[in-house]
């Protein structure tokens, strides 16, 4: 059986000067012209869908909330206590109990912040 591995994806990746220079070359731009056209078309369609369904303001508000919760959960649930992946790339909890620790942390965090938000809303009323 192949050993399972997991990877921690860094939140921000720095590009070397060499890579930055390559990304600015005509060779790179020519190789990826089709990808860029597809990206632009999909992005335009996605933006139109957002505008016609929930609206840009509501979408941006929800996206901001998602990013905030993602950061909080990463800090609270991704550490030594319940993180699913060790720094060396070995799954910390190959069993269900360990995964419940991680997902339980996420659930508890979201409940806690939803409760705080409700209390703030009630205080305004």
Q: What is the pLDDT at residue 79?
A: 64
**Where does the pLDDT of residue 103 fall: very low under 50, low under 70, confident under 90, or very high at 90 and above?**
confident
pTM for this prediction:
0.60
Tokens for 93?
A: 């909890």
Residue 1 has pLDDT above 50, yes or no: no
The residue ranking higher by pLDDT, 95 or 74, is: 74
Q: pLDDT, tens digit, for every residue of 44-81?
A: 999 999 999 999 999 999 999 889 888 888 888 776 56
Q: Report the percent of the chain where pLDDT is more than 90.
A: 36
Q: What is the pLDDT at residue 60?
A: 96
Q: What is the pLDDT at residue 121?
A: 63
Residue 2 has pLDDT above 60, yes or no: no
**Where does the pLDDT of residue 122 fall: very low under 50, low under 70, confident under 90, or very high at 90 and above?**
low
């Amino acid at each position: 059986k192949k050993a399972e591995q997991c990877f921690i994806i860094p939140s921000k990746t720095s590009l070397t000067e060499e890579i930055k220079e390559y990304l600015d070359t005509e060779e790179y731009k020519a190789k990826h012209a089709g990808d860029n056209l597809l990206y632009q078309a999909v992005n335009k369609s996605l933006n139109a869908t957002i505008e016609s369904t929930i609206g840009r303001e509501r979408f941006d508000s929800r996206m901001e909330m998602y990013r905030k919760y993602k950061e909080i959960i990463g800090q609270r649930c991704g550490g030594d206590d319940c993180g699913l992946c060790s720094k060396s790339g070995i799954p910390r909890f190959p069993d269900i109990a360990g995964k419940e620790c991680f997902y339980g942390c996420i659930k508890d965090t979201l409940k806690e912040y939803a409760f705080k938000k409700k209390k703030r809303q009630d205080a305004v009323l």
